[in-house]
Amino acid sequence: MAEKTFHCKLITPEACVLDNEVTSVVFPQWDGQVGVLPKRAPLMSKMGLGELRIKFAEGGTRSYLLEGGFAQMVDNNLTMLAEGAHSAETLSEQEAQAELAEAEARSPQDAKDMARVTHDRRRAKLKLELARRFREQGGGV
């Protein structure tokens, strides 16, 4: 089984969110996405805002809203140090819609504020998308 899996750890400043054997991981980089399979070549990557998808060795999948950080793959071990990670089952459509409405109502004052507003809008849209997909697949919060 070891040849078909690898160890994955997801750590945020608050907690170790995940520490499991997995078969694949897809995570957002700062400039796109990267997929990780067992025996992957070493990797060091800056993560971005987006969906983290994990397939577990014992079966099943889980999605997270990932908010930046760094990932390292070495010796069949993937370690992700994330600024934030929220599992899809904890996301609320109503809260995401409220966040999106608030972000869309804001008027940026300068370029720095525009970047923050754009980030907040994108985050709220991703949150809403993940919450809806989770509900449509039989879950729901």
Query: What is the DSSP-derived secondary structure letter of residue 138?
Result: T
Over residues 43-99, the pLDDT tens digits come to: 999 999 999 999 999 999 999 999 999 999 999 999 999 999 999 999 999 999 999
Over residues 17-44, the pLDDT tens digits come to: 999 999 999 999 999 999 999 999 999 9
Residues 87 and 90: their CA atoms lie apart, in Å, by 6
Residues 116 and 111: their CA atoms lie apart, in Å, by 9
Q: How far is CA 14 from CA 4, 10, 55, 97, in A?
A: 30, 11, 23, 25
Bridge partners, residue 37, by sequence: none
How many beta carbons lie within 10 A of that of residue 20, not counting itself? 14
The reported pTM is: 0.87
Furthest-apart CA atoms within the chain: distance in Å: 55
Residues 127 and 98: their CA atoms lie apart, in Å, by 11
